Amino acid sequence: MITTPLPPTPDDNEARLDALKALCILDTEPEQGFDKITAYVANVCGTPVALVSLVDRTRQWFKSNLGLDQPETGLENSVCAYVVYENDFLEIKDLSVDPRTRHMPLVTEPDGVRFYAGAPLRLSDGQIVGALCVLDKTPRQLNDFQRNTLRVMASQVVTQLELRRALEQTELLKREVDHRVKNSLQSISAQTRIHARQSNDPNVKAALKQVQARIEMVAALHEQLCQSSDGVEVDLTAFLTQTGRILEGTSPAHIKVEMDIAPVRLSADQASALGVILNEFASNSFKHAFPNERPGVVKFTSRVESDGSLVLDLEDDGVGMPETVTSKGIGLAVIEASVQQLGGDWSLPTNNSPGTRARLVVPPERVTT
């Protein structure tokens, strides 16, 4: 049995393989961005095959594969490995006569490949992880425009690879931060509960119990936001409806929470700000608007106006809130900060009906219907 010789490897191959591994790209699903590039270079170069080939330790794997009926090959069939080794653009007019490639099974098989041209995929740190290449079954050569196109599009492949890695790292960081926030909130809640049990002062117990309820509410909103967010936008109807359920779960038994939310999408940050506003308004209503177990309703209603702006009405049918709550205090400061984050406008409409009413208007440029 004749063993096909393998292409040589560069001196820094281990560092190169580490750079390839760090991309987290091997064995992932096809992606349109890469497939568009191979389709384009195949069209410009007039070849039936175009590949985004990533050269691993024992194989070359194709992130994009146009015209070849296999997702990867061993290095004994890898002309791209020579691009990696030679650290340069490589064009071979006839693979069957070039000493580097004439023995390759891909070339020697019936109806084998004859022509190859590949541009290196050079990362920003200088490591070459593979090649953008075109192949044909007849000997030929590219013109200058085709060669330049291959080089330029190889740089576009690298841009996509590195952008993809950056987004992946951002998502991992987000998950780590979310995990730490969740653990921190749980720890603070537990410590507050312990201090409440240890205190003999009923006023301190009541205050700590209220603090604990706020912490648990924030934790629940954080968890809901993590589950709802796709990293870009949040379905506000689903998010705020679930927020309403969480609020109702923490409300006194004699108070109901009602929601009527228009179907819009906001960024995760904006949805979080809205959740904070609802939480602060509801918490103040629970505390001040329904004394002596007076039954009542806290209601949140939103609509999208003809100009595209989002209007959110917050109201309760209680006895009203003290001026200290509606005009100053930490709760109002939190609401104002959240309104500023939304780029919105906050007002307290006056009317003759009992209870408290507030309105938030988010401008159309911040809203996706």
20-38 per-residue burial string, b: 16 or more CB within 10 A, e: under 16: beebebeeeeeeebbbebb
| 1 inside domain | no
Domain-terminating residue out of 144, 165, 186: 165
For residue 92 the two structure tokens come to 């071979």
Answer yes or no: is pLDDT of 51 > 70: yes
- Which residues partner with 118 through β-bridges? 90, 133
Q: Which residue has the higher pLDDT, 362 or 242?
A: 362
For the full predicted model, state whether its pTM sits above 0.75: no
Based on the domain organization, do 22 and 143 belong to the same domain?
Answer: yes
pLDDT digits (tens, 9 = 90+) for 188-239: 778 888 887 888 888 877 777 767 766 766 776 666 666 555 555 778 888 8
Q: Provide the 8-state DSSP code for 288.
A: I
- The C-alpha atoms of residue 167 and residue 145 are separated, in whole angstroms, by 33
Q: What angle do CA 255, 237, 327 make, to 5 degrees?
A: 55
For residue 359, which phi and psi values (nearest 5 degrees)?
A: -135, 135
**Percentage of the chain modeled with pLDDT above 90:** 51
Domain-terminating residue out of 146, 165, 184: 165
Distance of CA 9 to the CA centre of its chain: 36
| Residue 90 belongs to domain spanning | 13-165
Q: Which residue has the higher pLDDT, 225 or 103?
A: 103
Answer yes or no: is pLDDT of 246 > 80: no
- The C-alpha atoms of residue 362 and residue 10 are separated, in whole angstroms, by 57
Mean pLDDT of the chain: 86
Based on the domain organization, do 17 and 157 belong to the same domain?
Answer: yes
| Helices 330-342, 268-284: inter-axial angle, 10-degree rounding | 150
> How many domains are contained in the chain?
2
pLDDT at 112: 92
Answer yes or no: is pLDDT of 23 > 50: yes
Based on the domain organization, do 135 and 265 belong to the same domain?
Answer: no
Q: CA torsion sign, 173 to 174 to 180 to 181?
A: positive
pLDDT at 115: 97
Most confident of 25-34, 238-247, 323-332: 25-34
Based on the domain organization, do 158 and 241 belong to the same domain?
Answer: no
Answer yes or no: is pLDDT of 296 > 50: yes
